[in-house]
Amino acid sequence: MSGAVRTSTRDIARAAVRAELAEVAFDLFARDGFDNVTITEVAEAAGVSRSTFLRYFDSKEDAVLGALDAQGMAVADALRERPASEDDWTALRNALATLIEPYASDPERTLALTRLVRDTPSLRARQLERQHAWRPLLAEALAQRARARSPRLRDAVRAAAALTCLNAAVEAWTGGADGRDLRALLDEAFASLTVPRRPR
């Protein structure tokens, strides 16, 4: 028991340091531009050595996007937990709500971070690369909802379409979108791919 507690405490402390380093890095990137800031400068601003920074992040990009890997797992977990009465498309939309929470709690900072990623080619490319890894996670979760042995083509297609809707909504939001809320934009994106039922 004590070993488990120590491990948990260590993990919590590590996560806190990562969060602090990421915040310092973002503030510098937002002020001076991502390409104009070095890892050494981030480390100095955070009061740590360069080697310490690199123990927590593999690169500058990782300092900005490090949370994306965990977000993919969080969405997949949320998708598995959606009620069986929801169709896959509705379940996907509701599972993606886990990603919207930071936008709602601190929209100004989140908007600045999203624009930084959008306007920095290396960050944007890395974001899309990491997000691509979410697709099999979501497809697997959809298959598990249907008690299928493995993801089917339709699961992969729906997962990819859901992420496309997310990206389109975020892109509209960062572009202004007449001040509309990100949640409303995501609803609109999902609705645009909803096939209306034919009258009988």
Q: pLDDT-based confidence at 68, cuts 50/70/90?
A: confident
For the chain, the average pLDDT equals 88
Residue % of the chain over a pLDDT of 70: 92
Q: Which of 29, 68, 70 is nearest to 46 (CA)?
A: 29
Provide the 10 A C-beta neighbour count for residue 18: 17
Angle at 160 between CA 77 and CA 79, to 5 degrees: 20
Q: Which domains does the chain have, with CATH numbers?
A: 2-59 (1.10.10.60), 67-192 (1.10.357.10)
Per residue in 5-45, pLDDT tens?
Answer: 455 788 778 888 988 999 999 999 999 999 999 999 999 99
Angle at 161 between CA 69 and CA 117, to 5 degrees: 45
Average pLDDT for 72-82: 94
Lowest-pLDDT choice from 1-15, 68-82, 149-163:
1-15
Residue reference for tokens 């310092």: 24
For residue 33, the one-letter residue type is G
Say yes or no to pLDDT of 161 above 80.
Answer: yes
The reported pLDDT for the residue numbered 79 is 96
- Model-level pTM? 0.81
Average pLDDT for 162-173: 93
